[in-house]
Structure 1
Amino acid sequence: MSNFLYLFRGGEKAYQKLSQEEKQAHMQVWGKWMGGLKEKGQLLDGLPLAEDGKVVHKKGELVTNGPFAEGAEVVGGYLIVSAKDIDEAVEMSKACPIFDYDGSFVEVREIITMDHDQH
């Protein structure tokens, strides 16, 4: 088994247009999907990210507000999942509630383990 990172991109503008009831219902869909992954031992970690932040450049010589990515490029959250390979990780992502919004996608990346004992 390997670990994979899901980066959730896009969907913020469509989500903001929802009523409070629709937002709560959508969060329940997320909870159900993530709960299913957790029950199978496939969900290791994950949380939504704040919309604003800071971008550090040149070892801290320059710190700017950000990130200022556009629309579908904004990373809204992440999950770390366990799967036998990237194909299984992709298959698992297909049920993600982010696909309820046009222009939203999941980037699936394998997390590479580093052996800290070797120098």
Structure 2
Amino acid sequence: MKDFLLIYRADYGVVANASPEEMQVRTQGWMDWIAGIAAQNKLTDRGNRLMPQATVLKNEDIVTDGPFAEIKESIMGYSIIKATSMEEAAALSKGCPIFKVGGTVEVREINAL
């Protein structure tokens, strides 16, 4: 088995403008989806949500606030899963609740060298 990083991206404006009831439904969707992966013994780290504020370093001397206004999608969070291949990792990602708010999942194999 290999470890894969799932990177969740979405528009913070869409996510932030949810009602408390919508947030509760979304949270339950995430909990159910992650529990399904864990039940298959393929969850390495459930990960966390990320705050919308960031600092971007372009080199040692240039530090700016980010993410930038012209970028619609922001990284919302991440998880680490186990899979035998990129195809299996992508298949496990297909039920991700981020798709319900127009988001995306980037699947990256972790190089454990």
Q: For residues 62-107 of structure 1, what are the alpha-carbon distances to aligned partners after superposition, in whole Å with 9 as ceiling and x for unaligned?
A: 22111226223x11111111001000000000000011022x1101
| Distance in 2, Cα, partners of 1:11 & 1:42 | 28
| 1:112 aligned onto 2:102 | no
Shift of 1:54: 0.9
Structure 2, gaps ≥5 residues long: none
**Counterpart contact for 1:11–1:98, Cα < 8 Å:** no
Q: TM-score, structure 1 length as denominator?
A: 0.86
Amino acid at match of 1:70: I
CA distance in 2, matches of 1:11, 1:93: 19
Q: TM-score, normalised on structure 2?
A: 0.90
State the alpha-carbon separation in 2 of the partners of residues 28 and 2 from structure 1.
Answer: 28
Aligned to 2:34: 34
Residue range with higher mean Cα deviation, 93-102 or 35-44: 35-44
Distance 1:86 1:26 in 2: 26
Tell me the alpha carbon deviations over residues 12-42 of structure 1, each in whole angstroms, 9 at most, x when there is no partner. Answer: 2222222111111111110111112122221
Q: What secondary structure sits across from 2:48 in the alignment?
A: strand
2:2 alignment partner in structure 1: 2
Aligned equivalents of 2:25 and 2:93: distance in 1?
A: 20
Could you tell me which runs of 5 or more consecutive residues in structure 1 were left unpaired when the two chains were aligned.
115-119
Query: Matches of 1:50 and 1:17 in 2, distance apart?
Result: 15
Aligned partners of 2:12 and 2:52 also within 8 Å = no
Q: Secondary structure at the match of 2:8?
A: strand
Count of aligned pairs:
111
Larger Rg: 1
Report the 3-state secondary structure (helix = DSSP H, G, I; strand = E; otherwise coil) of the residue aligned with 1:71.
coil
Superposition CA RMSD, Å = 1.4
Q: Give me the identity figure in percent.
A: 36
